[in-house]
Structure 1
Amino acid sequence: MSIDKTTSNADSFADITDAVCDRLAKNERVRRTLPGHGRLRIDRQLPFLCIHRTPDHDDAGTRQLVTSEAAYLFASGKREFHEGLLKLCQQITATLQEHFGTFLSLEIWADSNCGQHEVQSTAQPAFEIFTPDFDSMPSTIEAFTAALAAVNIDGHDAVVSSQHCDEVAPPGLQPLNHICPEASPVGCCTIGLAVRPIYRDPQSGVTFPMILRDLRWQLSRALRKAIAQFAGLESSADGAHFESLGPTSLVKAARLIDQQLCEVAESFDFLLQVTPVNSEAAWEEFQEHGYQQEPNLHYRPLPWHTSLLKRRVFDIEIERIEDATLGHLCWEKQEEIDRQLTALRDINTPHFVHSSLQLYGAPDDSLVKLAETILQRFPEPTAATGDEGCVSIDTIVERSREEIDHYHQQMHEFNAKVEVCDQIASGMMVSGDRLLISPNVKLQPDRLEALMHHEIGTHLLTYFNGRCQPFRQLYSGLAGYDELQEGLAIMSEYLTGGLTANRLRSVAGRVIAVRSMISGASFTETFSRLHYGLQFSARQAFVTTLRVFRGGGLTKDFIYLRGLKGVLDYLSGGHDIEPLYVGKIGLHHLPYIQEMRRRGILDAPGVLPRFWDDDGLRDRLEACRGLTVPDLVENER
């Protein structure tokens, strides 16, 4: 019976092998189910294959260590599948080695004894490298060792060791060393990697998904660095990056999950929901009571049940995404949507501020100190801040449409709408593809162009750039994108000469107001500090206080200053500003975004801000590297 079963499996593998090698020879993508509940995925012609064989005992989580890669195979380790699996690997190796001249087979397995004499904690990661090919690829082993040593899980640095062995295989399984074709063994190498399974409980076998997620992403980078060294990738003529070895497409499951997350995220506008609809009436009421009585604020009714939206978002099967990078971004977004919905459920209650703190955090002492420094350096308004000389609403609308037309000529998809909306606080805001303008907006002429670059040249531009990408979250917004958005927007005001001392005072005042609110001060106490203590006009002090107390306490407004500081710190590090316009992302997302660009999943930004073609403004951008936030305005005086 076992002979018949083995023969049947071998025949199945033979049919699969022929089809796989035919597609690989044509550089076509391979996705095949293997006997024994296995799977083979090869994104394109690549000089490596990552392998995991499932042992007879429970091995939860381990196969996910290879499924992040562009060329992987996992299969049953049972003896009855060995012959067919070996021949499949041999033919894949021969086909790809013929194309590249070299080929690397990496087999990964879990071993609880890995690093047992070196580790200091049950949570410390450990790896052991096995290979019969030390002498033929010393630089690869050295690069792999260094990359693995850089793995850090929850503050624990990895322990790495290596040893020469003639046969590479997990304990109890037959080796796959012989996958290298006999006709051309030179350049065909094998590495085995034992991984300490810190991602599951050693007694119960229950997996720890957060640890597994973190380990997968870091191990993936280490694998690609080793493969790049083996293939001479980064020393090649085109200087390709090691991250280019990752998958180059969004598979069906990833596209579906991205779409589902975006559909939920786009079904509500968080900021619009927490913006009072009676801001102007509230101001009049506040004036009538001599600035001594907190105004009554009213909000739009929620057009859906938050619990039902939560059900939708948690029904999304993010665990189906094999790509560690995409999975990480989707898990982040799911958590953010959940927190936003909790906040909206608790709007206008004392509980709201707690969700706000989870979403945006709170200003630390150093940021408050920076805000105070700005207000000390610019203690009083330097120009008119009232209604006199303000630009008419018609002029603002006309100028906004002209600016949108400019970008539409650069990018056909840039089809933004301008709407006058009497249900937003005094000012302008972007909601999706719409620029909303309050009919009560008070805007001095020297601020008009700056606001065009802020709202249209940053917020709308990154929205439409994101819409041109295959990953939809780049326009709906990755988790925590707001801070970089506001930092970039204010930087654009500076670059175009519109960042005034009054504007910087306003941004600093928001930080003070947020600190005041979370410290327990009331609406009127916060207003008084801004108006009487820091010399803000009554109107501006009210608007700032309202923004901070809306919904029950929204801490978002301090991120304008922190975002600007973050952009300046980023530029001071010598980095290019261009990648920041790829969509609605945060600075902490840049490693993931750059990786996906190198892998060909994402494209460069479709359109850049209007000032990009102005040599004078580009010089201004270079000159601000190393400046502090107060310097931006001080140098203009």
Structure 2
Amino acid sequence: MDIKKIETLDMALMQASKKIKVLQALQWPLGAEEKFLEGWRKGNPQLPEANLERRDYSDSIAALEEISARCDHDDVVEKFLSETAQSYAYSGRMLQAVGTPDFTTYSTKIYGRPDTLYKLQGMSAVDGAKFFLEVTDSLLGNVHLPPTPADISAQDFAGWLKAEVDEFFCHDTVEVVIDKSLSSKALAGATRIRVRGSALFSQLDKDQLLFHEAYVHTATMLNGRKQSNLKSLSLGAPRTTRTQEGLAVMAELITNAMDINRLRRVALRVLAVKQALDGADFIEVFKFFLDAGQSEEESVRSAQRIFRGGHVKGGIVFTKDAVYLQGLIEVHTFMRVAIRDNRPDLIRNLFAGRLTLADALRLAPHFESGWLKPPTYLPGWASDLRRLAAVMAYSAFVSFIKLEKVYLERAIEFEEELNAV
């Protein structure tokens, strides 16, 4: 390993990636959502106007591709640097192509497509989304599932969240700010978590956003900043988005912070991305979310997320929203296999910075040697690997139970069979 070369490339990557901020560049104009809903409610919906400025990232792209070309892929650290630089270069090219087919071409290079088959499983994220929706469809409106009231203001939520992050991030300062233009309820960075000013939050939202945004996204970025030998582990590199979101959704599930509506939102986004790729326009995607039970406000925000940077007539879309379910499937499987193969250390490595699953595996020798540091901030569910191992081991076992052969009355039959013995 050429330490001096890695240090030079690492610093160059930190500098060259600074100007490429994907979500910031794809924000819709203020008032676009309200204007669309005004027309919708009058019975005259019009495709929204969301023409985004195409910025020139040529200098950044050239610098990033030059960094990538200098890396030796036989060295795992240089391979990490090369692939990270290339993902930023793809993002720059994507942002230069907003509103054109090339936008989606680069989006799928970075985030993938929801209909891509997992080679060894013969299924796609679309298949997974359909399964979750089929299972939960019959539960919607069930009197045994009381609704979750959302009556906590953004101001009150932000105050509560600030107290929680101050306690957890005891060596760093993390701000919590209210942002009226945010499309999601919360968005985390290394030193700042933004909260949507117009949103109302439920008690369940509090846990979900704490474990997802703060204890995963902010934690991994801060942990990456503490890597003295590889500073670029602190970058929110586009190539790490799938693993990051998968890890964050996994955190919601394992801490019981996810409810049926949240699970359905994740699944619906996958199908909506697929529909938009196949040509559905903004109004059709909006109606899809609305028909699935979302409010008008949430439906327009959900549709907006998919068309940001694309074209509201369909076919040109931002595919990022499909990675939440894809990432969950991949992270959950990775953790199960890591436990099966007696490699729980790989799970801890995922929190040491912004990494992909492959990075955690390839860089494992450098964590073992101490060249890379273990995470400073680790959420409770991931810090006790013995407990996590028990959950993953049980999860692996129950996957063998064939539910299609089981029905509720079987519980009575089984008991009678035991008593007859």
TM range (shorter): 0.7 to 0.9
8 Å contact from structure 1 (residues 339, 359) kept in 2 = yes
Please give the alpha-carbon distance, in whole angstroms, between the structure 2 residues aligned to 1:452 and 1:495.
13
CA 1:595/1:614 → structure 2, altered by over 3 Å: closer, same or farther?
A: closer
Q: Which amino acid aligns with 2:186?
A: M
CA 1:384/1:550 → structure 2, altered by over 3 Å: closer, same or farther?
A: farther
Please give the alpha-carbon distance, in whole angstroms, between the structure 2 residues aligned to 1:626 and 1:451.
30
- Residue 251 of structure 2 is aligned to residue 499 of structure 1: no
Q: Which amino acid aligns with 1:598?
A: E
- Residue 324 of structure 2 is aligned to residue 560 of structure 1: yes
Please give the alpha-carbon distance, in whole angstroms, between the structure 1 residues aligned to 2:10 and 2:384.
36
Q: CA deviation at 1:541?
A: 2.2
Residue 191 of structure 2 is matched in structure 1 by 433
Q: Which amino acid aligns with 1:295?
A: P
1:388-420 superposed Cα distances (whole Å, 9 cap, x missing partner): 6421112221122112212232xx2x3222222
Q: Which amino acid aligns with 1:465?
A: N
Residue 328 of structure 1 is matched in structure 2 by 79
- Residue 279 of structure 2 is aligned to residue 520 of structure 1: yes
Residue 290 of structure 1 is matched in structure 2 by 40
Q: Which amino acid aligns with 1:582?
A: A
Q: Which amino acid aligns with 1:417?
A: E
8 Å contact from structure 2 (residues 91, 238) kept in 1 = no
Residue 352 of structure 1 is matched in structure 2 by 103
CA 1:484/1:615 → structure 2, altered by over 3 Å: closer, same or farther?
A: closer
- Residue 372 of structure 2 is aligned to residue 602 of structure 1: yes
CA 1:572/1:322 → structure 2, altered by over 3 Å: closer, same or farther?
A: closer
Moved more, 589-598 or 468-477: 589-598
CA 1:322/1:520 → structure 2, altered by over 3 Å: closer, same or farther?
A: closer
8 Å contact from structure 2 (residues 176, 194) kept in 1 = yes
1:416 to 174, 177, 180: 174
1:393 to 154, 162, 175: 154
Q: Which amino acid aligns with 2:99?
A: N
Q: Which amino acid aligns with 1:344?
A: L
1:276 to 20, 28, 33: 28
8 Å contact from structure 2 (residues 71, 82) kept in 1 = no
**3-state SS in 1 of match to 2:309:** helix
1:130-172 superposed Cα distances (whole Å, 9 cap, x missing partner): xxxxxxxxxxxxxxxxxxxxxxxxxxxxxxxxxxxxxxxxxxx
Q: CA deviation at 1:468?
A: 0.9
8 Å contact from structure 1 (residues 329, 478) kept in 2 = no
**3-state SS in 1 of match to 2:193:** strand
Mapping 1:455-494, distance limit 5 Å:
455-469=213-227, 470-477=229-236, 480-494=239-253
Residue 211 of structure 2 is matched in structure 1 by 453
8 Å contact from structure 2 (residues 68, 85) kept in 1 = no
Q: Unaligned regions of 5+ residues in structure 2, if any?
A: 116-122, 311-316, 403-421
1:1-38 superposed Cα distances (whole Å, 9 cap, x missing partner): xxxxxxxxxxxxxxxxxxxxxxxxxxxxxxxxxxxxxx
- Residue 333 of structure 2 is aligned to residue 569 of structure 1: yes
Please give the alpha-carbon distance, in whole angstroms, between the structure 2 residues aligned to 1:425 and 1:396.
17
Residue 57 of structure 1 is matched in structure 2 by none
8 Å contact from structure 1 (residues 495, 617) kept in 2 = no
Q: Which amino acid aligns with 2:357?
A: L
CA 1:615/1:566 → structure 2, altered by over 3 Å: closer, same or farther?
A: closer
CA 1:478/1:340 → structure 2, altered by over 3 Å: closer, same or farther?
A: closer
**3-state SS in 1 of match to 2:151:** coil
Specify the structure having the higher radius of gyration (Cα).
1
Q: Which amino acid aligns with 1:555?
A: T
Please give the alpha-carbon distance, in whole angstroms, between the structure 1 residues aligned to 2:374 and 2:396.
23
Q: CA deviation at 1:442?
A: 3.0
Q: CA deviation at 1:566?
A: 1.0
Q: CA deviation at 1:282?
A: 2.3
Please give the alpha-carbon distance, in whole angstroms, between the structure 1 residues aligned to 2:239 and 2:73.
23
Task: Give the % identical residues.
Answer: 25
Please give the alpha-carbon distance, in whole angstroms, between the structure 2 residues aligned to 1:478 and 1:572.
25
Please give the alpha-carbon distance, in whole angstroms, between the structure 1 residues aligned to 2:270 and 2:255.
24
Mapping 1:354-393, distance limit 5 Å:
354-364=105-115, 366-379=124-137, 380=140, 384=147, 389-393=150-154
8 Å contact from structure 1 (residues 277, 425) kept in 2 = no
Q: CA deviation at 1:269?
A: 1.6
**3-state SS in 2 of match to 1:305:** coil
Please give the alpha-carbon distance, in whole angstroms, between the structure 2 residues aligned to 1:457 and 1:569.
21
**3-state SS in 2 of match to 1:481:** helix
Mapping 1:528-567, distance limit 5 Å:
528-532=287-291, 534-552=292-310, 553-567=317-331
Q: CA deviation at 1:535?
A: 2.8
Q: CA deviation at 1:349?
A: 3.6
Q: CA deviation at 1:626?
A: 5.2
Please give the alpha-carbon distance, in whole angstroms, between the structure 1 residues aligned to 2:251 and 2:73.
38
Larger RCO, structure (CA 8 Å, separation 6 or more) = 2
- TM-score normalized with structure 1 length: 0.54
8 Å contact from structure 2 (residues 126, 270) kept in 1 = yes
8 Å contact from structure 2 (residues 190, 222) kept in 1 = no
Residue 118 of structure 2 is matched in structure 1 by none
Q: CA deviation at 1:483?
A: 0.9
Mapping 1:127-206, distance limit 5 Å:
none
Q: Unaligned regions of 5+ residues in structure 1, if any?
A: 1-246, 632-637
Give 1 or 2: higher helix fraction: 2
Q: Which amino acid aligns with 2:202?
A: Q
Q: CA deviation at 1:383?
A: 5.4
Give 1 or 2: higher strand fraction: 1
Q: CA deviation at 1:591?
A: 2.2
Q: CA deviation at 1:315?
A: 4.2
1:583-610 superposed Cα distances (whole Å, 9 cap, x missing partner): 1111122222213223432122222114
Aligned length in residues: 371
Please give the alpha-carbon distance, in whole angstroms, between the structure 2 residues aligned to 1:615 and 1:255.
32
